[in-house]
Amino acid sequence: MRIICTQENLIKGLNVVSRLAGKNISLPILNNILIKTEGGLIKLISTNLDIGIKTTLRGKVESEGEITVGAKIFTEYVALLTGGNVEISVDNNNILIKTENQQTTIKGQGTDDFPVIPWLESGNEIELGSETLKEGLSQVINSASYNNVRPEFSGILMVVNKDNLVLAATDSYRLAEKNIKIVKNNLNQEKAYKIAPLKALQEVIRICGDGEEPVKIKFGESQIVFGFKETTIMSRLIEGNYPDYKEIIPNGWKTRVVAEKSALTTQIKTASLFSRAGINDVLLEFNKNNNIIISAANAQCGENKSTVEAIIEGENNSAVFNYKYFLDGLQNINQKKIVIEVNSSDLPVILRPENDNNYLYLIMPIRR
């Protein structure tokens, strides 16, 4: 194999795939990146068996072949190069790297032991914009759980209904749901219902661009594949049944609050300094005088109380929240004004953007 590409393109590709290759003692080949040529293209591939990532580089293929190389040393070495063209050739598993002023040999390894990754190359897919997908995943992902006791909670539920993709995540203390418009739907079935793991979706968020380049999501029986312009991510799906979360979403409210997101965020952060360690409790009181009273007290630190102006309909109400969960919900809302819907101090509370019904964040109050 002999290839030539720019240092800029090479390090860009390595940054996409190298994070997945880690310290695997039981299967050392997984610490490597596969470099291969295929149809005149240069491809970089990595996997941890549950997730696989491949990306294509622009460059010149002078002779075809494939080799694997340690992800850490190869990526760190290429990152230190000073730009320009990089020539890579392979001789008896030795990788010779030449630039204008350097020549280096890195020990490689054959590809016989590198796992074969099922990429689901054709059919059964939907298409949507890259930035739209990134925003949707970012709004729900921190509501999922890393607890392995209930594996389905360590993923995001993805439900496809004709022109709509629903993303939902919960850790039983809070829940987030996002509805996304699908650009194209080429599913072989009427509906898809899959649970994708957090680690794979974190990689998807990382790779998603800021524009609306198309992303194709392909569904298999036990895999899901995200196809970008130059990069493809494959992941195993989480088996199991996701809970019927719709049952806990309130149908109505007794108190409806509209407030400035930034002002509310600042005062909750201030009150959090006086919350009790391990409980993280902050009290929010909603009254008909169009004020939210935010308070917290701690025997060791003292107490704090502040007021935020709001538009409040319905009854006077109040609830105690874990401030970390509440701030997560505020952060996920991309509008200046937020809506809070309250029923009582021990029933779920809904946060949503003022003028957007495609996103909601549910949080369970702390019982007093």
Do 16 and 105 reside in the same domain of the chain? yes
Between CA 250 and CA 166 the distance in angstroms is 18
Asked if residue 64 belongs to a domain, the reply is: yes
Q: What's the confidence (pLDDT) of residue 119?
A: 87
Phi/psi for 33 (5° steps) reads -105, 135
Which tens digit of pLDDT belongs to each residue from 102-152?
A: 999 999 999 999 999 988 876 789 999 999 999 999 999 999 987 767 888
C-alpha distance from residue 61 to each of 8, 66, 75, 82, 269 (Å)? 17, 12, 20, 22, 55
Q: Does residue 349 carry a pLDDT above 90? A: yes
Of 246, 276, 300, the one marking the end of a domain is: 246
Q: Which domain holds residue 269?
A: 250-363
Q: What percent of the chain has pLDDT over 70?
A: 99
pLDDT at 280: 95
Amino acid symbol at 22 = G
Closest CA relative to residue 245, chosen from 195, 180, 176, 178: 176
State the pLDDT at residue 110. Answer: 96
Which CATH number belongs to the domain containing residue 14 in this structure? 3.10.150.10
Q: Judge residue 251's burial from the number of C-beta atoms within 10 Å of its C-beta, 0-12 exposed, 13-18 middle, 19 or more buried.
A: exposed
Same domain (yes/no): 53, 8: yes
Quick check: 289 pLDDT over 90?
no
Report, as an integer, the average pLDDT of 309-332. Answer: 96
45 in a structural domain: yes
Residue 166 has pLDDT above 90, yes or no: yes
Q: Which residue has the higher pLDDT, 78 or 189?
A: 78
In this structure, are 202 and 299 located in the same domain?
no
pLDDT per residue as tens digits for the range 173-221: 999 999 999 999 988 877 889 999 999 999 999 998 777 789 999 999 8
| Same-domain status, 132 and 196 | yes
- pTM of the full structure: 0.92
Mean pLDDT of the chain: 94
In this structure, the answer to whether residues 75 and 28 fall within a common structural domain is yes
Per-residue pLDDT of 291-303, as tens digits, reads: 999 999 998 999 9
Domains identified in the chain, total number: 3
Domain boundary (204, 219, 246) is at: 246
Please state the separation of Cα 228 from the chain's center in Å: 15
> Average pLDDT for residues 69-96, to the nearest whole number?
95
Which range among 10-19, 188-197, 340-349 shows the weakest confidence by mean pLDDT? 188-197
Residues 143 and 176 reside in one and the same domain: yes
pLDDT in tens, 23-55: 777 899 999 999 999 888 999 999 999 999 999
Do 18 and 44 lie in one domain? The reply is yes
Q: 181 lies in a domain?
A: yes
